[in-house]
Amino acid sequence: MDKPSRLAFSDYATFRLLRAEIIYYFGFMISVFTLVLIGTDGPVKDLALPAAVFGGIGLVLIGIFFVAAWIYRMGEQYQVKRMFAGEIWECWQFSAQEWEAEVESVCSLINPKDDGIPDYMGVVNSSIFGAVIAIIMAAIGFFVVKDPLIKKALWIAAGAVFLLSAGAGAVEPLVLKNKADRYRRKALQFREPRVWFSADGIYHEALGHASLKGLFKVTDQTKSRKAIQFKRRIKTDESDDVDVITSPVPAGCEERAGRLVLRYRRERLQS
């Protein structure tokens, strides 16, 4: 069975930083230092060390993100190589028209741009929440705290909390739009992508690899949604999450999809 000409990677193994994360980080930095400048009587040079420390922490976090992505990418390369070295259970290909329709369907779920005002309720809700917290902090600083330095620090922190919460709500629609656009660009790298299925994984020519090592349920949804749904359990020290992978079924592959589901149940789930 033909292998992919070039390797695609899942979102977890893609070297990228969400624009929203960068906006949050630098927006928070600018807000904090602006408020500090307004509220302090000392020279600007006194802020050099705190600014350097704060910026250094951000760079370390970004570096950790890239290292984690690189490690995950190496692991994904190994899993894809192992997958194609073994038995491929099934492979099917989408037509350009049905794949474009599937991509637009997913994008409409990620970015509900037609909902109008409800899309921006996050701005209102987060601003109200931030305002309440900021008022409480400012009130404590005004009525309870006697030390002038602590009082000023509380007021600055109150302003920072409000700006951060309002900013987080304001960029939420932008984050959803960016996520949908990024998915569309990635998914449409191939006009007629192929999908391979094996005992322990799925490889999509445009979207990358998905491991099925934690698979505990597979459902044939070809009659209702023209899809196969895989459920896998991802266990960590902190949580036990269930990840749902929905694989659309191309036209004419419904019977093959049914046989594939039966094979997963027989050879994977009952063994």
DSSP of 66-104: HHHHHHHHHHHHHHHHHHHHS-EEEEEE--HHHHHHHHH
SS3 assignment, position 162: helix
Distance of CA 235 to the CA centre of its chain: 18
Residue 133 located in a structural domain = yes
Predicted confidence band of residue 33 (pLDDT cuts 50, 70, 90): low
Number of domains into which the chain is organized: 1
Query: Averaged over 140-144, what is the pLDDT?
Result: 80
Residue 235 located in a structural domain = no
Give the lowest-confidence range in 15-24, 107-116, 165-174. 15-24
Contact between residue 260 and residue 249 where contact means Cβ atoms under 8 Å apart: no
Scan for tokens 């928070």, then name that residue. 28
Residue 102 located in a structural domain = yes
Scan for tokens 């046989």, then name that residue. 259
Predicted confidence band of residue 243 (pLDDT cuts 50, 70, 90): confident
The pLDDT of residue 212 is above 80: yes
Residue 4 located in a structural domain = no
Q: Which residue has the higher pLDDT, 188 or 123?
A: 188
Residue 22 located in a structural domain = no
What Cα–Cα distance (Å) separates residue 238 from each residue in 11, 140, 234? 22, 35, 11
Residue 173 located in a structural domain = yes
SS3 assignment, position 30: helix
Query: Averaged over 190-212, what is the pLDDT?
Result: 94
The pLDDT of residue 19 is above 50: no
pTM of the model: 0.70
User: Torsion angle, CA of 266/223/231/207, rounded to 10 degrees?
Assistant: 110
Residue 153 located in a structural domain = yes
Q: Note the pLDDT of residue 156.
A: 80
Instruction: Note down the domain range covering 178.
Output: 95-192
Residue 121 located in a structural domain = yes
With b for 16 or more beta-carbon neighbours within 10 A and e for fewer, the 13-33 pattern comes to beeeeeebeebbbebbeebbb
Q: What mean pLDDT is reported for the chain?
A: 80
Contact between residue 211 and residue 199 where contact means Cβ atoms under 8 Å apart: no
Scan for tokens 């701005």, then name that residue. 123
The pLDDT of residue 209 is above 80: yes
